[in-house]
Amino acid sequence: KLQSATVRRDDAKHRHELLLKAINSNSLKERSIVEDISKIRSEIGSNEQDLSAAQQMESQTRLRVETIEHEISMERTRHVDTVADLESKSQEMDESKVKTTESIESKKAEIESKKAELRKIWEKSAGLRKSEGHPEPDEPNWGMEQAPSLDVARVRVRVNAEEVELNSKK
């Protein structure tokens, strides 16, 4: 009996040790699980913050995209208006060039008629100078150089007076 009691006692001690080891092992596992749960909760909190930040960035990005799309629309409108304005200014400039060309041509015709009139007056003036005994100056290059100074009014009055006198003698 003693031996059987000793075996039972040793067996009970062994079981007790195994149970203590199992309890210690389970306690360590429990601590590990509690730490893992704490880490997971921390990660969940961090993930929620990241999600919130990502949603906020998405909202801001959406707002930026809308703003950029609006700016693009405004620039397109401004571009269309600018092109239309440039086309109208180009047309106005073309019309102005035509008018200016016409004006220049009419002024050239006026200048030519003035040159002819000046030649006639010059010839009459040269005739008067000759009749008065003055040397006859060379005819200027009309429109290219300054004409010599003449008292045009005096010459015109004398020429007209002589013309009237000649007409009356006829």
Query: What percent of the chain is modeled with pLDDT above 70?
Result: 88
- Does 49 or 126 have the greater pLDDT score? 49
Assessment of whether the complete model's pTM goes beyond 0.75: no
CB atoms within 10 A of CB 64: 10
Residue 54 is predicted with a pLDDT of 96
Can you tell me the mean pLDDT for 4-9? 90
First to last CA, the chain: 189
Taking the C-alpha atoms of residue 47 and residue 51, their distance in angstroms, rounded to an integer, is 6
Q: What is the DSSP string of 65-109?
A: HHHHHHHHHHHHHHHHHHHHHHHHHHHHHHHHHHHHHHHHHHHHH
Taking the C-alpha atoms of residue 61 and residue 66, their distance in angstroms, rounded to an integer, is 9
Task: Note the pLDDT tens digit of each residue in 55-108.
Answer: 999 999 999 999 999 999 999 999 999 999 999 999 999 999 999 999 999 998
Residue 10 is predicted with a pLDDT of 92
CB atoms within 10 A of CB 140: 14
Task: Note the pLDDT tens digit of each residue in 38-58.
Answer: 999 999 999 999 999 999 999
- Does 135 or 79 have the greater pLDDT score? 79
